[in-house]
Structure 1
Amino acid sequence: MYVIFGASGKVGRATATALRNAGRPVRAVVRQAKQGEALARIGCEIVSADLTAPTTVASAIKGATAVQILCPVPVGDSDPAATMQRMIDVAADALRANPPPAVLALSDYGAELDQGTGLTRLFHLLEERLKPLPTHLTLLRSAEHAQNWAAMLPVMLATGRLPSLHSPLDRAFATVSTQDVGALAAELLLASSPAKSPRIVSVEGPRRVSLIDVARAFSTVVGREVTADAVPREAWAPMLQRAGLSENHVQLLTELYDAVNAGQIDVEKGVSEQRFGKTELTEAFTAMLVAHVKSR
C-alpha cells in the first residue's frame, strides 16, 4: 500500500494518479473526505487525517509499503512555523513508531541550509527529523512551484502587471510544475530501494527563467501584454499583509526571498541527483488560467 499524504493537492494528486496508472494500491490521505472524491473514482482508498493529530497520522500509515510525506504551509495561520513544526514532529514520531520500508519526503531547494532561509528552514527541520528513521528515505527537493503564480492571476488580469518578490527582473531562478514533481515522486517510489539513504533528488523545470520570462509566458497565455514588476523590498510587507498573511508568515517569506535573491537557494551540488521536468511555463499557466476562469 502506497500512502500519499496531501493527496488532494497538486503534487500529491499527480503522485497518486501515476501510482494508480501503474496498478499500485494507493491510500490517499486528505484532510476532509470530500477532497478525496476524484481520487476515489480512480480506485484510491480515502483516509481523512489531520497532520497535527498523532492518532490520525499513525492510523493512516498502518500497513504501508511506502509513505509520501509533506509539510504544507498553513495559509492564514497566525504562526505557520509553529504549526509546521507540529506537523513535522507528529509525522516523524508516527514514522519512527511504525516505520514503513520506504519514505519519500517532499522538500525544497535550500533545505540543506539550517538558518536564514525563512520558510525553507522548516523543510530543513523536516529532513533532519526523518534522517534517523530505520527506513529507505528519499528527499525530493523541488524548485519553486510554477503554480504558486496562481495567487497573482487576479492582480495580473486586472492590471496587466505581475508583481513579485523576485529581484532583479532579469535574474534567472529555478521553477518547476507540480505535475512534474508528483510524477517524479511516483517514479522514485516505484524504483528499487536506494543503496544510500537518504537519497537526495532535486527537480526543476526544463530551463531556468527570469521574472521577465514569467511575464512573457503569461502574456502568451492571456493574449495581452503583461509587465514584470519587481516589488521594492520596503513594499513587501505591506503587500503581503494586504493579501491577508500574518506578521509571522510575512517574516518567513521576507527571509526566504532575501535568500533567493542573494542566490543562496539552489541545488546542493555534489550531494543531490538532478532531474528536470518537461512542462513549460505556458502549459502550466494555461491550466491555471482555465481553473481560474472556472472558479469565478
Structure 2
Amino acid sequence: MFVIFGASGKAGRVTAAALRRAGQPVRAVVRNARHGDKLAAIGCEIALADLTDAAAVAAALRGAHAVQLICPVPVNDKHPESTMRATIDVATDALRENPPARLLAISDYGAELPLNTGITRLFHHLEQRLRPVETHLTVLRSAEHMQNLDAFLPTALASGVLPSLHLPLEHRFPTVAAQDVGAASAELLLDAPQGGTSRLVSIEGPQRVSVNDIAATLGEVSGRTIAPLALPRESWSPTLLKAGLSEEHARLITDLYDVHNTGKIDVQANSERRFGATGLREVLASLVSKLATR
C-alpha cells in the first residue's frame, strides 16, 4: 500500500494518480471527506486525518509499504510555525513507531542550512526528525512552486504592477511546477530500493526565471502590460499583513527572503538533480485562465 499524505494538494494528487496508473494500491490521506471524491474515483482508498491528530496519522500508516509525506505550511493560522512543527512531530513519531519500507518526504531548497530561513527552517526541522526513521528515506527538495504566484495575480492583473520580495528583479532563481514535483515523487517511490539508506534529490523547472521574466510572461499570457516592482524591505511586513497573513506567517516569509536574496538558498552540491518539463508560461496561462472563470 502506498500512503500519500496531502493527496488532495497540487503535488499529492499527481503522485496518487501516477501510482494508480502504475497499478499500485494507494491510500490517499485528506483532511476533509469532500477532498477525497476525485481520488476515490480513480480507485484510491480514502483516509481522513488531520496531521496533528496522532491516532489518525497512525491509523493512516497501518499496512503502508511506501509513504509520501507532505507537511504544508498552514494558511489562515495565527501560529503557523507551531502548528507545522506539531504536524512534523506527530508524523515523524508515527513513522518511527511503524516505519514503512520506503519513505519520501517533500522538502525545500535550502533545508540543509542551520540558519534562520523562516519557512525553510521548518523543513530543516522535518529532515532532522526523519533521520532516525529506519527506512529507505528519499528527501525530494523542491524549488519554489510556480503556483505560489497565484496569490499575486489578482492585484497584478488589476493594477498592472507585480510586487516582489525577490531582489534584485533581474536575478534568476529556481522555480518548479507543483505537478512536476508530484510526478517526480511517484517515480522515486516506485524506484526506491528497500533498506536503511537515504537519497537526496532536488527538483526545479526547465529554466530559472527572474521577476522581470515573470512580469513579461504574465503580460504576454494575459494580454496586459505588467510592470515588476521591487518592494522595499520596510514594506514587506505591512504588505503581507494587508494581504491577510498573520504576524507570525509574515515573519516566516520575510525571514526566508532575507536569506534567499543573499543567494544562499539553492541546490545542495551533492544532491541528485531533476528538472521538470513544465515551463513558467504554461503555469501562468493556467492560473490566468482559472482566474477568469472565478
Q: Which residue of 2 aligns with 1:60?
A: 60
1:287 and 1:24 mapped to 2: Cα distance? Answer: 29
1:78 and 1:84 mapped to 2: Cα distance? Answer: 12
Shift of 1:267: 0.6
Stretches of structure 1 lacking an aligned partner (at least 5 in a row): none
Whichever residue aligns with residue 262 of structure 2, its letter is A
Q: Which residue of 2 aligns with 1:210?
A: 210
Map 1:174-185 → 2, pairs under 5 A? 174-185=174-185
2:289 and 2:48 mapped to 1: Cα distance? Answer: 29
2:78 and 2:214 mapped to 1: Cα distance? Answer: 30
- The structure-2 alpha-carbon separation of the partners of 1:19 and 1:45, relative to structure 1 and needing over 3 Å to count, comes to same
- Asked if 1:123 is matched to 2:123, the reply is yes
Whichever residue aligns with residue 96 of structure 1, its letter is R
Whichever residue aligns with residue 282 of structure 2, its letter is E
Shift of 1:291: 2.2
- The structure-2 alpha-carbon separation of the partners of 1:192 and 1:18, relative to structure 1 and needing over 3 Å to count, comes to same
Map 1:5-154 → 2, pairs under 5 A? 5-154=5-154
SS of residue matched to 1:94: helix
1:21 and 1:226 mapped to 2: Cα distance? Answer: 40
> Would you say the 8 A contact 2:114–2:121 is kept in 1?
yes
Q: Which residue of 2 aligns with 1:197?
A: 197
Whichever residue aligns with residue 286 of structure 1, its letter is A
Whichever residue aligns with residue 290 of structure 2, its letter is A
Q: Which residue of 2 aligns with 1:275?
A: 274
Shift of 1:197: 2.5
SS of residue matched to 2:152: helix
> Would you say the 8 A contact 2:157–2:224 is kept in 1?
no
2:102 and 2:220 mapped to 1: Cα distance? Answer: 42
Shift of 1:66: 0.4
Deviating beyond 4 angstroms after TM superposition, the runs of 4 or more aligned structure 1 residues are: none
2:279 and 2:100 mapped to 1: Cα distance? Answer: 35
1:230 and 1:46 mapped to 2: Cα distance? Answer: 44
After superposition, give the CA deviation of every residue in 1:187-234 in whole Å (9 maximum; x if it has no partner).
000004177722000000001110001111111211111111111111
After superposition, give the CA deviation of every residue in 1:112-146 in whole Å (9 maximum; x if it has no partner).
01222111000000001001111000000000000
After superposition, give the CA deviation of every residue in 1:224-274 in whole Å (9 maximum; x if it has no partner).
1111111111110110000111111111111100111000100111x2101
After superposition, give the CA deviation of every residue in 1:162-199 in whole Å (9 maximum; x if it has no partner).
11110111011000000100000000000041777220
Q: Which residue of 2 aligns with 1:288?
A: 287
1:257 and 1:203 mapped to 2: Cα distance? Answer: 20
> Would you say the 8 A contact 2:102–2:192 is kept in 1?
no
- The structure-2 alpha-carbon separation of the partners of 1:194 and 1:97, relative to structure 1 and needing over 3 Å to count, comes to closer
2:226 and 2:210 mapped to 1: Cα distance? Answer: 14
1:261 and 1:117 mapped to 2: Cα distance? Answer: 11
> Would you say the 8 A contact 2:28–2:47 is kept in 1?
yes
Q: Which residue of 1 aligns with 2:251?
A: 251
Q: Which residue of 1 aligns with 2:170?
A: 170
Give the share of equivalent positions with the same residue, in percent: 58
- The structure-2 alpha-carbon separation of the partners of 1:33 and 1:57, relative to structure 1 and needing over 3 Å to count, comes to same
Q: Which residue of 2 aligns with 1:227?
A: 227
1:140 and 1:168 mapped to 2: Cα distance? Answer: 28
Stretches of structure 2 lacking an aligned partner (at least 5 in a row): none
SS of residue matched to 2:168: coil
TM norm structure 1:
0.97
